[in-house]
A = this chain, B = another copy of it.
Amino acid sequence: MIVETKSAHFDSIALEGGGTLAPVEVAYETYGELNHARSNAILITHAFTGDAHAAGVAHDSGKPGWWDNMIGPGKAFDTDRYFVICSNVLGGCQGTTGPSSVNPATGRPYGLAFPVITIRDMVRLQKMLIDELGVGRLLCVAGGSMGGMQALEWAVSYPDAVRCVIPIATTWRHSAQQIAFNEVGRQSIMADPDWNQGEYYDTKPPARGLAVARMVGHITYMSDESMREKFGRKLREKEKFGFDFGVDFEVESYLRYRGNQFVGRFDANSYLYITKAEDYFDLTNGTGRLADAFRPVDTRFLVISFTSDWLYPSYQAQEIVRVLRRMNGDVAYCDLQSNYGHDAFLVDVAEQTELVRGFLDSTARIAVAA
């Protein structure tokens, strides 16, 4: 399945924080075919540093999509049966308008002149794209981590436009610890002199700060156990006491590699804006009354968490499930056994596949019956 990223153009989008962003480009990919009834469309929402290339092999780079193990013919999101869409989020740096895009007012990249964006804004732009593509009601919105926040926001903002949502390894609002980890990443970027108040597009990006931020991220994506299994205390080939604060342990080498690799593919200002959007996200707008947010609840939910995910711990998913059950909502929940930590939704897909396949199938049958 060779795929190509396409682009949609919109004159403007109104933002939750007030004001308007104009114009807006959206990078997206689609897999499978929209049926005549326009009833088989599924929107996949990506995590923090993800992009529109969710499945298949990219035409230009040859790279597989980030959820290729879940999306494709015969897979969980079966492209023989469903029309699957994935778009890069607002504020991103991989084809959708973000702080590295050109500000028409100045002819130069926005930098910090880019407006505040929220998860709700990301979802609003997705709704515009869905309408543009001629899809009526989505069969499903599904995603993990920040993608799960978007799935939840869809159920709240556009309950009539989506039959079911699958929020995975996610939360209805960030805890103090989740905010704290994001803040460390932001501080690391902003501490790098090359960041230069976000004005680095003509010079060099804050590579060191961004790499450290990514290293922190990677630790939180794995579990204590998965790190032990993958690295243990394995030493690099190096005299133990040949000491230059270089790499002694495999885990150090891995983190440095992933940190530096990230610099080449992600924009530091997008890092700042998107993590703030995550931290601001609160499905209840600060009231803490989740039942009010979901009322009326017509959408079906499949909520998934993973036992070893300590960044988005299972209790956060269970808070959502408890409220939905109390409201007699149509909600299925599974806390999947995995050692992979938060990364589990990307890598540990066998059980997840069975859950998603069955849930989509039953939702599609209900949709036909309705």
Contact = CB atoms under 8 A, between A and B. Distances in A.
A192 interface: yes
Interface string A228-263: 101111000000110111001111100110010000
Given A252-B183, A272-B245, A208 B227 contact: no
Nearest to A310: B310
Nearest to A182: B252
A17 interface: yes
A180 B276 contact: no
Contact of A282 (B177, B231, B233): B233
A179 interface: yes
A194 to B, nearest CB: 9
Contacts of A272: 245
A313 interface: yes
A224 B183 contact: no
Given A187-B212, A208-B191, A259-B187, A179 B241 contact: no
A227 B116 contact: no
A175 interface: yes
A193 interface: yes
A176 B232 CA distance: 5
Contacts of A255: 180, 183-184, 187
A222 B184 CA distance: 15
Nearest to A208: B191
A224 B177 contact: yes
A185 to B, nearest CB: 9
Interface in A102-151: 112, 115-116
A251 B180 contact: yes
B176 A191 contact: no
A52 interface: no
A112 B175 CA distance: 39
Given A187-B212, A192-B191, A208-B191, A175 B244 contact: no
Interface in A285-319: 286, 310, 313
Given A187-B211, A243-B276, 15 more contacts: A18-B241, A112-B244, A115-B243, A173-B233, A176-B233, A177-B222, A179-B249, A180-B255, A183-B249, A184-B212, A187-B215, A188-B212, A191-B209, A240-B280, A310-B310
16 contacts: A173-B233, A175-B227, A175-B233, A176-B224, A176-B227, A177-B222, A177-B228, A179-B233, A180-B215, A180-B219, A183-B249, A183-B255, A184-B255, A187-B259, A191-B208, A248-B276
